[in-house]
Structure 1
Amino acid sequence: MQVATQSALVAGGGSGIGASVAQHLAGLGAKVAVLDVNLEGAEAVARECGGRAFACDIASAESAAQAIAAAREAHGPARILVNCAGILSPGRILGKDGPLPLDAFQRVIEVNLIGAFNLLRLAAADMAPLAPLADGERGVIINTSSIAAYEGQIGQIAYAASKAGMAGMTLPAARDLARHGIRVLSVAPGLVATPMLTSLPQEMQDALAQSIPFPQRLADSKEVAHLVQHMVENVMLNGEVIRLDGALRMPPR
């Protein structure tokens, strides 16, 4: 599928990787709807890329449905969904104050995993009735997992579980939606120079970069956006989770 002229939803597009994806797809000619729980951030990105911004709590069925309906009204049904929304809530299973609170674990799963499925099901429902393109394709859905899905570190139990769930649902979702001509993929980034990492002291950033075999630097979020572009354009990519990590394998801590 060519990106130009297509309607695209980018969840979590108000900052970080999502912002880069939104800007990149818009630069390729897509009509981009930036969805984010932080409407101010979404509006700032939308102004930069000529898109539209919509408030969206991906973990809420009602909020997500309303945001997708508003984006549909503005740009028509989306053929592209890129879900970059997510949260990180570190904590050991057994910490100084006792067991990890169950609601802390539940909230990460609710946003990262259930929220991703929430958008996937709603976007797929909009894509399925569309006229098929080349090879019978009607849409593509790309989730953002993480290398933590494979090498979760100490204190990442909730985050790693949520990202592993996203990776795990990629193939069955692709198989499930194949009869509708909808592809499902996931990208699993390593260490990316998002505001969360670039706010760390420089010596810590340098140490993290040195842990990557090659190239020994943090990934640029634009590199994730370029991979998303290729996933959209290459119709033979389906049901796959692609790591973007410079051969990094995370240590226990």
Structure 2
Amino acid sequence: MHIKDRTFIISGGASGLGLATVRDLHSHGGYVAILDLSAETGNSIVNELGDRVKFYEADMSSTTSVQTAVNAIATWISQTSAPIGGVIPAAGVGLPSKLIDRNNEPLSMAPIDFVLNINLRGVLDLLRLTLPHMTRNTPTDPDGERGVLVLVSSSAAFDGQPGQVAYAASKGAIRSMTLVLARDLAQYGIRCMAIAPSYFESAMTAQMSEKVRKSLEKVFEFPKRPGQGREFASCVRHCVENGMLNGEVIRLDGGTRMPSRL
């Protein structure tokens, strides 16, 4: 899939890994639609990058909000004639907690719902609302490709840490549905890949304490540092451009396997 003159929809695109992907795809000639809650940041990115980037304020836990954004993107595409080439649902949250606390009290469903609604439900919602636009694309030569989905899983889908039960469940679901989506969408010429990053510098990991950061760095293999946004974005771009990548989850973690205790 060529990037130039195609539109890429990126949720969570106003910060972290999503923003790095926005910059990378834009630099290679793509049009980018950013879905995020931070209007101030999103609009500043548009002002910086120019006409091939649009910001749409959207709450990924709200179908009404996502539908409104997708409708607006469809209008923009009709003006630019740059069809949807890919969807990258990069919005994600994590609230560390165990199902029972030290007093043997069950965790409230509120934080569980919050994580699942954005990390899983919001992904499925965005995909189901954008796919009807992608399936109408004119197929490209030589394979008849119409588009690609690049999902964001996590190393937690493979070896989650204590307190990551909701987060690991959401990212494990992303991992599990990658092949299913590739099979479901093959008839339309749409591929589906997923990337499972480990500890990357992002808005979410910025909330970690220095103690947790140092503990994580001790278990890294090589390189012994957090991943950088440009490395994630480069992997997304490769998933877009390499037509033989389909139905697989790429661990982007420098060979690190997380232990049960840090």
Query: What is the aligned-residue identity percentage?
Result: 38
**In structure 1, C-alpha distance between the alignment counterparts of 2:158 and 2:94, rounded to whole Å:** 16
Listed as ranges, the gaps of 5+ residues in structure 2 are: none
CA displacement, residues 184-226 of structure 1 (integer Å, 9 cap, x when unaligned): 1111001101134346566653442231111111110110000
Question: What CA distance in whole angstroms lies between the structure 2 residues aligned with 1:133 and 1:143?
Answer: 22
* Structure 2 SS opposite 1:170: helix
Match 2:217 to one of 193, 209, 223: 209
- Look up the match of 1:150: 158
Moved more, 176-185 or 52-61: 52-61
Query: Which amino acid is 2:165 matched to?
Result: I
Q: 1:202 to 1:155 in 2, by over 3 A?
A: closer
Normalised by the size of structure 1, how large is the TM-score? Answer: 0.94
**Residue deviations 1:165-200 (CA, integer Å, cap 9, x gap):** 011111111100110111111110011011343465
RMSD of equivalent CA atoms? 1.6
Instruction: Indicate yes or no: 2:191 matched with 1:183.
Output: yes
Higher mean alpha-carbon deviation, 74-83 vs 4-13, is at: 74-83
* Matches of 1:204 and 1:110, distance apart in 2: 26
Give the 3-state SS of the residue equivalent to 1:194 in structure 2: coil
TM-score, normalised to structure 2, is 0.91
Aligned partner of 1:162: which letter?
S
Aligned to 2:251: 243
Q: Which amino acid aligns with 1:143?
A: L
**Count of aligned positions:** 253
In structure 1, the partner of 2:129 is: 122
The 3 A distance-change label for structure 1 pair 85 and 251 is same
- d(CA) in 1 for partners of 2:24 and 2:40? 20
> Any stretches of 5+ residues in structure 1 without a counterpart?
none
**Alpha-carbon contact 1:144-1:186 (below 8 Å) kept:** yes
User: How far, CA to CA, are the matches of 1:199 and 1:118 in structure 2?
Assistant: 27
CA distance in 2, matches of 1:241, 1:166: 9
Match of 1:68 among 67, 70, 81: 70
In the other structure, the counterpart of 1:174 is 182
CA contact (8 A) 1:23 1:48 kept: no
Match of 1:109 in 2: 116
Q: 1:153 to 1:32 in 2, by over 3 A?
A: same
The 8 Å contact of residues 22 and 49 in structure 1, kept in 2 or not, is answered as: no
